[in-house]
């Protein structure tokens, strides 16, 4: 997924000290011309960059299926916020994140961007499993899990960035204001100032529903995008999530300010929220990455399924089968996702000098045969179950569908126990 979009037949990829040192062909660099400690020989496979999930809430795996088929406001206020207040703590957040990481690695994601409460627990889960991650401490203007006093939001934001900024090359700390309707103008500006001074990303849900747009316009006299722009929030270190209801002028504001967008179509479909005008964003030069959102509003973290949905939903919305081509969507899940998170110098494509974040898809399956175009095969035929191996930061973390550095049975058992407690109280 480099700028050249080259497809290399019979490739040889060399990895040393976490990084890709060469990308060649067997004709130019036959196996006998180098020595390796370990060789993965994967005939009949597609080798591609690891997928980048630009927005999720990992600990919400233990709310998977808790509240389905309800509108967003009811989903949040009647189910999710009360459940978070009662069941979310540093331990449940950790094991929920561990379960999510297992699911992501098995389905081809090698980098994620998480925004939630008890984010220290998510960082610890990422560190223990070797995932590349942008971890965002979450903020709202009412007592939240781990932050019972919102008056301490700024202090907690500064402490979180300072604690994790230089701990690991795999971890980038960032800040996440939930939305313009759960955060006051003061909170938005103050948290953004901390992020700006720390050179960290700032993320927020934005223009997700018609109701949000109407409420913000009624309360502040402007649409959510124009409102945040008036507060000085929007710049090239801001990632706006969802953006289902933005007009042409607002897309131009994104482009002018350098705002990146995280597109989460399956979550928005499930909540009946809307469909972001991504083709128009791309035309105006806005960088767009893909996200799954959390398991409470999507139910799975399979980014390959999200890729398929992305390609199709915009064809349906525009009634144009050419609206979103396969190469564009794959870039959104790889190199454009890396650009969204500001880590394109590290990952997102298979090129010498970048960290080796690579996945291998097994094409020796009935639904993957025949193959005329590998981009089409990945987008329209593949799912996370086709990922046979995952490499993150030069280390093999999954091979032959087996996680190599996680006790997934223990993790699943622990999450089942958390869920049992939730079931008893329902």
**Of 235, 330, 246, nearest to 290 (Cα)?**
330
265 and 390 co-located in one domain = no
The mean-pLDDT minimum among 31-35, 164-168, 328-332 falls in 31-35
Angle at CA of residue 276, ends 270 and 278, nearest 5°: 130
Q: Is residue 253 part of a domain?
A: yes
pLDDT for the residue numbered 3: 84
Q: Does residue 423 form part of some domain? A: no
Looking at the domain assignment, is residue 43 inside a domain? yes
304 shares a domain with 352: no
Is residue 19 very low, low, confident or very high in pLDDT (cuts 50, 70, 90)? very high
pLDDT of residue 349: 98
**Lowest mean pLDDT across 63-72, 290-299, 400-409:** 63-72
pLDDT of residue 75: 87
252 with 375, same domain: the answer is no
Closest to 121 measured CA to CA, from 92, 94, 159, 141? 94
Q: What is the mean pLDDT of the chain?
A: 96
CATH of the domain at 369: 2.30.40.10
Residue corresponding to tokens 């130019």: 28
- Confidence label for 72 from pLDDT (cuts 50, 70 and 90): confident
Residues 178 and 278 placed together within one structural domain of the fold: yes
- pLDDT tens digits for range 47-65: 999 999 999 999 999 999 9
Please name which of 270, 328, 337 lies closest in space to residue 303, comparing C-alpha atoms.
337
Q: What is the pLDDT of residue 424?
A: 83
Residue 300 pLDDT greater than 90, yes or no: yes
Do you find a cis peptide bond into 177, omega within 30 degrees of 0?
no
Number of folded domains in the chain? Answer: 2
Given this model, what pLDDT does residue 421 score? 87
Q: What is the pLDDT of residue 384?
A: 98
Q: 163 and 250: one domain?
A: yes
Are 93 and 236 within one domain?
A: yes
pLDDT band at 2 (very low <50, low <70, confident <90, very high): confident
Q: Residue 165: its pLDDT value, please?
A: 95
Radius of gyration in angstroms for the set of CA atoms belonging to the chain, rounded to a whole number: 21
Do residues 174 and 318 share a domain? yes
Residue 292 lies in a domain: yes
pLDDT the model gives residue 262:
98
Helices marked H in 170-263:
185-197, 210-220, 224-230, 248-257
Report the pLDDT value the prediction gives residue 70, as an integer from 0 to 100.
87
Provide the 3-class DSSP secondary structure of residue 105.
Answer: helix
Q: Report DSSP state, residue 385.
A: G
Tokens encoding 321? 């089968």
- 161/88 same-domain check: yes
CATH classification of the domain holding 298: 3.20.20.140
DSSP, res 406: -
Same domain, 247 and 371: no
Which pLDDT tens digit goes with each residue over 86-120?
999 999 999 999 999 999 999 999 999 999 999 99
**Which of 177, 160, 193, 282 shows the shortest CA–CA distance to 240?**
177
Span 387-404, average pLDDT? 97
Banded model confidence at residue 269, pLDDT cuts 50, 70, 90: very high
Cα torsion through 94, 97, 99, 100, rounded to 10: 180
pLDDT attached to residue 34: 85
Domain containing residue 303: 51-340
43 and 58 inside one domain: no
Confidence of residue 142 (pLDDT cuts 50, 70, 90): very high
Would 260 be classed as within a structural domain? yes
Q: Say if residue 315's pLDDT is above 90.
A: yes
Confidence of residue 354 (pLDDT cuts 50, 70, 90): very high
pLDDT in the model for residue 161 = 98
Residue 425 pLDDT greater than 80, yes or no: no
Give residue 31's pLDDT band: very low, low, confident or very high (50, 70, 90). Answer: confident
| CA 285 from centroid of its chain's CA atoms | 20
* Co-location of 362 and 389 in the same domain: yes
The verdict on 204 and 131 lying in the same domain is yes
The answer to whether residue 419 is domain-embedded is: no
């Amino acid at each position: 997924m480099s700028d050249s979009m080259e497809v290399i037949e019979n490739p040889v990829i060399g990895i040393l000290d976490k990084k890709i040192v060469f990308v060649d062909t067997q004709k130019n660099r036959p196996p006998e011309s180098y020595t390796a400690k370990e060789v993965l020989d994967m005939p009949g496979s597609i080798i591609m960059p690891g997928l980048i999930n630009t927005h999720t809430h990992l600990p919400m795996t233990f709310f998977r299926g808790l509240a389905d088929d309800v509108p967003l406001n009811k989903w949040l206020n009647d189910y999710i916020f009360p459940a978070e207040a009662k069941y979310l703590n540093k331990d449940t957040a950790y094991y929920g994140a561990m379960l999510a990481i297992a699911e992501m690695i098995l389905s081809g994601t090698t980098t994620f961007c998480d925004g939630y409460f008890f984010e220290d627990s998510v960082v610890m889960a990422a560190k223990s499993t070797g995932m590349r991650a942008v971890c965002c401490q979450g903020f709202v203007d009412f007592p939240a899990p781990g932050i019972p006093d919102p008056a301490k939001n700024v202090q907690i934001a500064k402490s979180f960035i300072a604690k994790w900024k230089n701990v690991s090359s795999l971890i980038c700390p960032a800040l996440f204001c939930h939305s313009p309707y759960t955060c006051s103008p003061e909170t938005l500006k103050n948290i953004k100032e901390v992020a700006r001074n720390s050179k960290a990303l700032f993320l927020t849900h934005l223009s997700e529903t018609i109701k949000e747009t109407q409420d913000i316009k009624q309360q502040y006299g402007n649409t959510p995008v124009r409102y945040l722009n008036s507060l000085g929030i929007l710049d090239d270190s801001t990632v706006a999530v969802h953006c289902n209801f933005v007009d042409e002028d607002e897309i131009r504001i994104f482009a002018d300010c350098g705002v990146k967008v995280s597109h989460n179509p399956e979550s928005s479909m499930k909540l009946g929220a809307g469909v972001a005008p991504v083709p128009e964003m791309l035309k105006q030069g806005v960088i767009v990455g893909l996200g799954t959102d959390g398991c409470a509003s999507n139910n799975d973290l399979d980014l390959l399924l999200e890729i398929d949905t992305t390609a199709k939903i915009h064809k349906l919305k525009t009634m144009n089968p050419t609206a979103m081509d396969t190469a564009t969507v794959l870039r959104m899940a790889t190199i454009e996702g890396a650009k969204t998170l500001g880590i394109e110098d590290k990952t997102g494509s298979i090129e010498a000098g970048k960290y080796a974040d690579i996945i291998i898809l097994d094409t020796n399956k009935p639904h993957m045969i025949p193959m005329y175009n590998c981009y089409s095969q990945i987008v329209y035929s593949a799912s996370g179950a086709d990922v046979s191996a995952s490499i993150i930061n030069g280390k093999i973390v999954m091979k032959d569908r087996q996680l190599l550095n996680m006790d997934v049975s223990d993790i699943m058992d622990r999450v089942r126990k958390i869920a049992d407690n939730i079931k008893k109280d329902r």
